[in-house]
Amino acid sequence: MTPELLVAIIVTVVGASTPILIAALGELIVEKSGVLNLGVEGMMLVGAITAFVIVFVTGNHYLAILLAAAAGVATSLIFGFLTLSLSANQTATGLALTIFGTGFSALAGQGYSARPVTLLGPLFPAEIATHPMWRVLFGYSALVYFALIMVVAVWFFLKRTRAGLILRAVGENDLSAHSIGYSVIGVRYLAVMFGGAMAGIAGACFPLLLTPQWAERMTAGRGWIAVALVVFASWKPFRLLAGAYLFGLVVTMELYAKAGGGPLSAIPSELWAALPYLATVVVLVLISIRRDASTNAPACLGKPFLPAN
Amino acid sequence: MTLTRRNVLKVGAAAAALPLLGGKAFAQAEPLKVGFMLIGTVNDNGWNFGHAQGAKFMKEALGDAVAEPTIVENVPEGPDCERVLRELAQSGHKLIFATSFGYGDYVIKVAEQFPDVKFEHATGYQRSDNVATYNARFHEGRAVCGTIAGHLSKTGKAGYIGSFPIPEVVLGINSFVLAARKVNPAFEITPVYISTWNDPAKEADAARAMIDQGIDIIAQHTDGPAALQVAEERGIVGGFGQGADMVAFAPKAQLTSIIDNWGPTYVESAEAVIAGTWASADRWPGLKEGEVQIGPYNASIPADVVAAAEAVKAGQIDGSFNIFTGPINDHTGAERVAAGVTLTDGELLSMDWYVEGVNPPA
């Protein structure tokens, strides 16, 4: 394998991993506040069609990312209102949100399917962004660096800030947080909105980073991968980064191995398809062996907040 | 009219209520209701778009003799499609087109319960008294594309993105490679199966993986333009539109396209049902009947290459050329088809081996 090919593979892996990482970081914050939002896939699709339409109409990629985030927030507020204000079942509402997002994006996208846009270009100047070797560090669009910065930001927020501590308190013991005067519902609304914004940006990655078109259901289940990754990473941002890149590596290596021949191409595609799930099982087993880490799930995850009046 | 499955339910409920109102008396004068069941969305710009265009063509051609066609989108190949078929049949549709391979078993099952409804299953092989099958000879178009690829490829290596290794896809790959090797005997192709019909991001990544490893021509048997867009972005020699003209996505990279034209087939079937002459059959028209068409050639292709492609096209239309006439070797180099022998339709439809020049996937 030549160094150039290695660089090319890494660039593709990073692209494939980025939307999953962004969506999962949002869901991690949501779950840390004690809320389980299974509507990630739906919010991503709303973000994807919003980004596509904005780029198609204005040609401005950054405006598209911004408005995709706003659309994700708006979609997440439907979930927030139902589960937080009305205490509806979070699992059922999240599933409904995915179905809604799928249908809404398909409706909004009618008439946009035969229209191409352009990808968001690299952030750095072309001399280093297209260099055969240096592009491994500098060849990406802003979305990739945003995802990496957000990994550190989410970790810092949860571990090192007072607001992060409050968020974790709300997720671990909502009644205690409530009794000392924190607004449990308010904190959870903010967390759900952050999750919506990140899912919207993750959706924007599809037309702006991966394939410059609109196709119905173009996220193809990656929102669910993001939800699973949060558990896989036991609610830790840096493990999430590793998990997302590992997933991207497996799905991308499958394609490179099949296209390039060589020893890896002898692996049947069924085994490649099973690898991420096998990895999940292995990680879950490892987590279970270490008893202290298995309690990392937020204690109030998925439970509606119903204070005794 | 594009209906969601929920609306079909409503229509079904209304139709079920009709006989109670004494509606049977005027049922004869009603225009023929035709239903279409699609695996994806009509906005995919490819396979499903082609069927929707065919439905539109049928309505325009037959006017008031047929009702506005009912199109049910996004029907998975599983038990759900049986329900959709039954709802269509119960709501008065007398001709129903099921347009994906995996619907086959369910079509046969539902057709037994509705003997007065005619079913037609695209790309299928199971027939009964009221179930016909139809397909298009897309591989004839692949031979035209392969001829162009053989002339233009500098590396002599092409990539081919497939959905699943089913005979229809294998047939297309073999046709493409046979045609390319008639021009460049060293031409080779590596198929990559991505196990889905519609995951544009994965299609794009597969295209990147192939281009990074030295191919300069790309073809695909999936439903969208993602691979062509990557070809455009990377500036390789090019690729081919599949199902529809995709020039808007890749003005430089799309060398030509294979266009599905189902309209005439649908008109023929609807007319036969109205006239009462419909009979179960297996239809497999191609370039000659105009069901498979070749889109415009890219202006960048040299005139002699266009002429060679046109010659392959013309030969298949007048019957003087068949891409599956031997001698044909399989991928190990052993002779599979003797000189002068042409594979039968049955052998084409069950093709499970690769010709020489294909690096077979695991």
pLDDT at A258: 87
From chain B, pick out residues whose CB is under 8 angstroms from the CB of A267: 362
Q: Which two tokens stand for residue A103?
A: 């249908």
Question: Read out DSSP for chain A?
Answer: --HHHHHHHHHHHHHHHHHHHHHHHHHHHHHHTT---TTHHHHHHHHHHHHHHHHHHH--HHHHHHHHHHHHHHHHHHHHIIIIIS---HHHHHHHHHHHHHHHHHHHTTT-TT----PPPPSS-HHHHS-TTTHHHH-S-HHHHHHHHHHHHHHHHHHH-HHHHHHHHHHH-HHHHHHTT--HHHHHHHHHHHHHHHHHHHHHHIIIII-SS--TTTTTTHHHHHHHHHHHTTT-HHHHHHHHHHHHHHHHHHHHHHHH-SGGGGS-HHHHHHHHHHHHHHHHHHHHHSGGGGGGS-TTTT-------
Dist CA A289 CA A34 (whole Å): 25
Which residue among A115, A220, A273 sits closest to B201, beta carbon to beta carbon?
A220
Per-residue model confidence (pLDDT) at position B288: 92
How far apart CA A265 and CA B11 sit, in angstroms, is 50
Q: What is the pLDDT of residue B19?
A: 44
Query: CA B355, CA B333: separation in Å to the nearest integer?
Result: 8
- Contact call for B206 and A259, based on CB within 8 A: yes
Cα separation of A297 and A279, whole Å?
A: 19
Q: Tell me if A116 and B206 make a contact (CB, 8 A cut-off).
A: no
Q: How far is it, in rounded angstroms, from Cα B190 to Cα B200?
A: 19
Q: Is B203 within 8 Å of A211 when comparing Cβ atoms?
A: yes
CA dist B35 and B266 (Å) reads 11
Pairing of strands B217-220, B238-243: parallel
Phi, psi angles (nearest 5°) of residue A307 = -70, 140
Cβ–Cβ gap A15/B361 under 8 Å: no
For chain B, how many residues are written?
A: 362
Contact: A255, B202; criterion CB under 8 Å:
yes
Q: Report residue A53: phi and psi, to 5°.
A: -65, -40
Distance CA A257, CA A273 (A): 13
Mutate to test the interface with B, among A4, A213, A247 (most CBs of B within 10 A): A213
B206 and A255 in contact by Cβ < 8 A? Answer: yes
Which chain B positions have a beta carbon within 8 Å of A256's beta carbon? 209, 212-213
Do the chains contact at A216 and B44, CB–CB below 8 Å?
Answer: yes
What residue segments make up the domains of chain A, in order of their start?
Answer: 3-223
Contact check, Cβ <8 Å, A9/B204: no
Residues of chain A neighbouring B208 (CB-CB closer than 8 A): 8, 12, 255
| The pLDDT of residue B356 | 95
Q: What is the ipTM of this complex?
A: 0.90
Question: Are B2-134 and B138-259+293-349 the same fold in CATH?
Answer: yes
Question: Bridge partners of A138?
Answer: none
* Closest of A194, A111, A140 to residue A16, by C-alpha: A140
Q: Which residue has the tokens 């178009």?
A: B141
**Other C-beta atoms within 10 Å of A6: how many?**
13
Q: Measured between alpha carbons, how far is A210 from A13 in angstroms, rounded to an integer?
A: 11
Residue for token pair 């990392």? A296
The CATH number of B2-134, from 3.30.70.100, 3.40.50.2300, 3.10.310.10, 1.10.10.370, is 3.40.50.2300
| CB-based contact B98:B81 (threshold 8 Å) | yes
pLDDT at B9: 53
Question: Are A215 and B44 an interchain contact pair (Cβ–Cβ within 8 Å)?
Answer: yes
- State the Cα–Cα distance between residues B93 and B91, nearest whole angstrom: 6
CA distance A53 to A117: 9
Question: Distance from A250 to chain B by nearest Cα, in Å?
Answer: 12
**Contact list, A255 vs chain B (CB under 8 Å):** 192, 194, 202, 205-206, 208-209
d(CA A17, CA A245): 5
Distance, in Å, from the CA atom of A242 to the CA atom of B223, rounded to the nearest integer, reads 32
Chain B residues in contact with A102 by the CB 8 A cut-off are: none
CB contact under 8 A, A265 and B362: yes
Q: Give the chain A residue whose CA is nearest to the CA of B189.
A: A259
User: Taking CA atoms, what residue in A is nearest to B197?
Assistant: A220
Minimum Cα–Cα distance from B211: chain A residue:
A259
The pLDDT tens digits of the residues spanning B182-233 come to: 999 999 999 999 888 778 999 999 999 999 999 999 999 987 899 999 999 9
Query: Which residue in A215, A255, A265 is closest to B200 by CB distance?
Result: A215
Q: Other C-beta atoms within 10 Å of B338: how many?
A: 9
| Chain B residues in contact with A260 (beta carbon < 8 A) | 190, 209, 213
Give contacts of B 17-56 with A, CB under 8 A: 40-41, 43-45, 49
- Chain A positions contacting chain B at CB under 8 Å are 5, 8-9, 12, 15-16, 106, 109-116, 119, 206, 210-213, 215-220, 222, 251-252, 255-256, 258-261, 265-269, 273
Residue B159 touches chain A, beta carbons under 8 Å: yes
CATH of region B138-259+293-349, choose from 3.40.50.2300, 3.40.718.10, 1.10.8.60, 3.40.50.12140: 3.40.50.2300
Question: Regarding beta strands B238-243 and B95-98, do their DSSP bridges make them parallel or antiparallel, or are they unpaired?
Answer: unpaired
pLDDT at A309: 52
The confidence score (pLDDT) of residue B26 equals: 42
Query: In whole angstroms, how far apart are CA B209 and each of A255, B159, B174?
Result: 6, 9, 22
Neighbouring CB atoms inside 10 A of A230's CB total 26
Residue of chain A with shortest Cα separation from B227: A211
Of B198, B210, B212, the CB nearest to A215: B198
Q: Between chains, do B204 and A265 touch, taking CB under 8 Å as contact?
A: no
Chain B, nearest residue to A271 by Cα: B362
Q: How far is B49 from chain A (nearest CA, A)?
A: 10
Contacts of residue A27, Cβ cutoff 8 Å, sequence gap at least 6: A37, A40, A195, A198, A199, A226, A227, A230
The dihedral sign for the CA sequence A28, A33, A34, A35: negative
Q: Which residues of B touch A115 (CB under 8 A)?
A: 248
Query: In which residue ranges of chain A is pLDDT below 70?
Result: 291-295, 308-309
Which residue on chain B is closest to A260 by alpha carbon? B213
Nearest CA in chain A to B160: A259
pLDDT tens digits in sequence order for chain B, 362 residues long: 455 555 555 555 554 444 444 444 444 458 999 999 998 888 777 788 889 999 999 999 999 999 999 999 989 888 899 999 999 999 999 999 999 988 999 999 999 999 999 999 998 888 999 999 999 999 999 999 999 999 999 999 999 999 888 888 999 999 999 999 999 999 999 999 988 877 899 999 999 999 999 999 999 998 789 999 999 999 999 999 988 888 999 999 999 999 989 999 999 999 999 999 999 999 999 999 999 999 999 999 999 999 999 999 999 999 999 999 989 999 999 999 999 999 998 899 889 999 999 998 87
Nearest CA in chain A to B250: A116
Kindly determine whether residue B359 and residue A8, on different chains, have CB atoms separated by under 8 Å: no
SS (H, E, C) chain B: CEECHHHHHHHHHHHHHHHHHCHHHHHHHCCECEEEECCCCCCCCCHHHHHHHHHHHHHHHHHHHECCCEEECCCCCCHHHHHHHHHHHHCCCCEEEECCHHHHHHHHHHHHHCCCCEEEEECCCCCECCEEEECCCHHHHHHHHHHHHHHHCCCCEEEEEECCCCHHHHHHHHHHHHHHHHHCCCCEEEEEECCCCCCHHHHHHHHHHHHHCCCCEEEECCCCCHHHHHHHHHCCCEEEEEECCCCCCCCCCEEEEEEECCHHHHHHHHHHHHHCCCCCCEECCCCCCCCEEECCCCCCCCHHHHHHHHHHHHHHHHCCCCCCECCEEECCCCEEECCCCECCHHHHHCCCCCECCECCCC
Chain B residues whose beta carbon lies within 8 Å of the beta carbon of residue A212: 229
Neighbouring CB atoms inside 10 A of B326's CB total 14
Q: Which residue ranges make up each domain of chain B?
A: 2-134, 138-259+293-349
Among partner residues B206, B215, B225, which is closest to A213 by beta-carbon distance? B225
Is residue A150 within 8 Å of residue A25, measured between CB atoms?
Answer: yes
Q: Which tens digits make up the pLDDT trace of A4-42? A: 899 999 999 999 999 999 999 999 999 999 999 999 999
Query: Is-cis flag, bond preceding B327, omega within 30?
Result: yes
Cα of B200 to nearest chain A Cα, Å: 6
Which residue out of A53, A258, A275 would a mutagenesis test of the B interface target, given it has the greatest number of B Cβ atoms within 10 Å?
A258
Please list every residue in chain B whose beta carbon sits closer than 8 Å to the beta carbon of residue A3.
none
Q: Do A116 and B210 touch (CB under 8 A)?
A: no
Q: How many interchain CB pairs under 8 A, A with B?
A: 119
Separation of alpha carbons A284 and A278, rounded Å: 10
